[in-house]
């Protein structure tokens, strides 16, 4: 009997059966052998495991699971079991003490988009890449680039009109993308289609954050893979131009672009590295900035103190029109506390993901080889370390924080490679916004968790020139 002869209801039933039959295999790990006791497993009545509950509100879900199971437990997420840890002690153990027993462990569906050559997920490649990035992403290179990042920031911020309603996230990602691309290949490239890069990366980002990554042309995941191919072609062409120029001073990434020999990277690896740095850098940094403006708009005391710091800095400089330098950034101590408090309250990612390369024992439990591990940031909101943890209070960083309880960029050998870049770019952009404009969110209220955790709608806000300020 032909399929078209079946009733529509029966066809739907048959399709559902075909989709559901493989589900029992999703969490089956038959044939695995390891010695030791597994952490307690989350109890879920859903055939999808914990995925749906996690997806609806990941932060509340993780809070609930921590209260239920403590410092280590197993979740069933996205078709696999993941061991989750929730304490600073566990974070130090896995990220620092036994880091060689783990590698980066994002879902394969994500790394297929964001790190196709395995520059960070392959342990050997990771060591080589981090060594190559040590100079271009190190303090010296990044701090020398502050005047450039300041000029690029102003090229957008100075176009804002008094009384205009802007989408904060869109404006911040425009700035951070320009700065990331400048980091990669130097001078602003008028021929580069910034809007095109942003459009492609937006599709990639949405495709990375779907419950079930199905590779079909009309799905978000399929569109993300297509966007990845398109932007890779663009990056390969740009790399070809850079190599042809042979200008070692062309950009701070020249040590990577012109690397060769056994310590060098192939063109495919360099293009993949550029893809990863763009993807991991500009939208996450933009999201942090949006949260900064959100928290400040709700905390007048913190905003007033921040404005005083930046007004004093502006008044002490010969001309507010001259680019900022590292000496200026060092005079922003309260700004750095605002950034730290924002990172504590609004983590850009939910876990620091790892995959075990061998069986590892921790407090009577085993993390078996090839299992996923998620080091959660839940302890950033632990009242034992941060009194009144849900309150935005930058002054809590007036005193040194106990080592290991605040690690927004990770820790150990696999700490975020963009740590210095982010810590420089954030205060530069904040200075230019806060010293010139007041801002007022226009709604809607609430947050959204996907594709990134941020204020709902990207935080539409009205900007007004502050008294005595002009462009």
Binding-site entries for heme: 416
Tokens of 458: 């990207």
Q: In whole angstroms, what is the distance from residue 160 CA to residue 147 CA?
A: 20
Q: In whole angstroms, what is the distance from residue 420 CA to residue 403 CA?
A: 19
Q: In whole angstroms, what is the distance from residue 374 CA to residue 77 CA?
A: 11
Tokens of 455: 């204020």
- Residues contacting residue 260 through CB under 8 Å, at least 6 positions apart: none
**DSSP 8-state secondary structure symbol assigned to residue 264:** S
Helix (H) / strand (E) element for 165: namely: strand 165-167
Tokens of 150: 């300041």
- Residues contacting residue 181 through CB under 8 Å, at least 6 positions apart: 188, 189, 192, 194, 197, 278
Cα 71–Cα 73–Cα 74 angle in degrees, nearest 5: 155
Please give the C-alpha separations between residue 241 and each of 98, 189, 234, 244, 250, in angstroms, as whole numbers. 42, 12, 11, 5, 11
Query: Which residue do the tokens 């990366």 mark?
Result: 201
Tokens of 202: 């937006």
Please, how many CA atoms are within 13 Å of residue 33, restricted to the half-sphere of its CB?
Answer: 1
């Amino acid at each position: 009997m032909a399929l078209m002869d079946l009733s529509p209801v029966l066809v739907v039933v048959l399709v559902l059966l075909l989709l559901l039959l493989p589900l029992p295999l999703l969490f089956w790990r038959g044939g695995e052998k390891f010695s030791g006791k597994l952490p307690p497993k989350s109890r879920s009545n859903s055939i999808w495991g914990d995925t749906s509950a996690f997806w609806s509100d990941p932060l509340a879900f993780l809070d609930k699971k921590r209260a239920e199971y403590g410092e280590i437990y197993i979740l069933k997420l996205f078709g696999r079991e993941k061991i989750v840890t929730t304490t600073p002690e566990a974070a130090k153990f896995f990220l620092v003490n036994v880091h060689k027993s783990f590698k980066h462990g994002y879902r394969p569906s994500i790394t297929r988009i964001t790190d196709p050559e395995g520059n960070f997920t392959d342990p050997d490649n990771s060591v080589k890449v981090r060594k190559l990035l040590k100079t271009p992403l190190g303090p010296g290179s990044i701090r020398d680039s502050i005047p450039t990042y300041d000029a690029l920031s102003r090229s957008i911020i100075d176009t804002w009109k008094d009384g205009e309603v802007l989408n904060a996230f869109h404006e911040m990602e425009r700035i951070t993308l320009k700065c990331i691309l400048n980091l990669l290949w130097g001078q602003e490239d008028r021929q580069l289609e910034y809007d095109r890069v942003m459009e492609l990366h937006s599709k990639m980002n949405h495709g990375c954050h779907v419950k079930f990554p199905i590779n079909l042309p009309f799905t978000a995941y399929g569109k993300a893979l297509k966007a990845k191919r398109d932007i890779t072609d663009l990056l390969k062409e740009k790399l070809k131009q850079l190599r042809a120029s042979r200008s070692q001073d062309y950009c701070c990434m020249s040590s990577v672009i012109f690397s060769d020999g056994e310590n060098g990277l192939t063109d495919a690896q360099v293009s993949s590295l550029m893809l990863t740095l763009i993807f991991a850098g500009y939208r996450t940094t933009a999201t942090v900035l949006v949260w900064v403006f959100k928290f400040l708009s709700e905390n007048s005391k913190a905003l007033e103190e921040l404005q005083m710091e930046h007004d004093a800095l502006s008044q002490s400089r010969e001309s507010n029109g001259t680019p900022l330098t590292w000496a200026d950034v060092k005079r922003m101590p309260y700004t750095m506390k605002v950034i730290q408090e924002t990172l504590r309250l609004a983590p850009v990612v939910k876990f620091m993901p790892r995959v075990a390369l061998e069986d590892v024992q921790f407090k009577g439990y085993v993390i078996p080889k090839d299992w996923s591990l998620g080091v959660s940031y839940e302890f950033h909101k632990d009242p034992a370390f941060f009194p009144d943890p849900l309150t935005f209070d930058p002054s809590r960083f007036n005193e040194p924080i106990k080592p290991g309880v605040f690690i927004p960029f990770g820790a150990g050998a696999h700490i975020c490679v963009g740590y210095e870049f982010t810590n420089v770019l954030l205060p530069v952009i904040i200075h230019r916004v806060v010293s010139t404009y007041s801002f007022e969110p226009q709604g809607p209220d609430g947050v959204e968790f996907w594709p990134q955790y941020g204020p709902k709608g990207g935080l539409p806000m009205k900007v007004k020139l502050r008294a005595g300020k002009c462009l």
